[in-house]
Amino acid sequence: MAPEYAIHGRVSPKIDIFSFGVLVLEIVTRRRNSSSDDRDEVNLISDVWNCWTKGTVSQMIDRSLDEHARSQALRCIHIGLMCVQSDPDDRPYISSVIFMLTRDNTEIQAPAQPAFFFGREAALTSPAYDRSDFILGQDVSVNAVTITEPYPR
C-alpha cells in the first residue's frame, strides 16, 4: 500500500504505480512483500534496496531465470525501485514505466530510498529515536505509524 494512502488517506494516480512496483519486485525476486513476526527480517522493498545500495542486487533475482532473463530482471528491479519511491512526485507515470520496460536503451535515473524502508540501519540512523533504546533491546518503531483497518458493525 502506498505510504501517502496508508498514512494520510490521500489518493493519487501514483498509488497504483507504487503497487505495480511492489508487484514487479515480487515477481522478479520470487518473494512476497509481507511482514513477519521475526524482528530481524526486513521486508522485500528494504531487502532489495539494501542489495541495490551494496551493488549486490543480482543475488535477489530468481535463480531459475536464464542469463538473458536475468539482465532483463535487473532492469525490472531498477524500474520497480523507481515505482516505490517515498514521494509520489518521484515515481514515474505508467506511460514512462511502459516506455522504460519496452526500450532496453532507455536511460533510467537512479532511485532514491524507497518508502517503508525498514531494517536495523534505518532504526539506528533515524533521528526520531535514541540509539540507546535500540541497544538496550527495547522495541523501536521505525516509522512511528499505526495503521488500523476499521471494521463496520
What is the per-residue pLDDT across 67-97, written as a single tens digit (0 to 9) for each?
878 888 999 999 999 999 888 888 999 999 9
Q: Is the model's pLDDT at 128 over the cut of 90?
A: no
Residue 37: what residue type? D
Q: Which pLDDT belongs to residue 145? A: 59
- Nearest CA-CA partner of 49 in 118, 144, 120, 138: 118
pTM higher than 0.85, yes or no? no
The helix-helix angle for 14-29 and 44-54 (nearest 10°) equals 70
Q: How many CB atoms lie within 10 A of CB 7?
A: 13
User: Domains of the chain by range and CATH?
Assistant: 3-118 (1.10.510.10)
Share of the chain above pLDDT 90, in %: 24
What is the per-residue pLDDT across 8-30, written as a single tens digit (0 to 9) for each?
677 777 878 888 999 999 999 98
Distance spanning both ends of the chain, measured CA to CA = 25
Q: How many CB atoms lie within 10 A of CB 68?
A: 8
Task: Say if CB 34 and CB 43 are below 8 A apart.
Answer: yes
Question: How many angstroms separate the CA atoms of 32 and 27, rounded?
Answer: 8
Mean pLDDT of the chain: 75
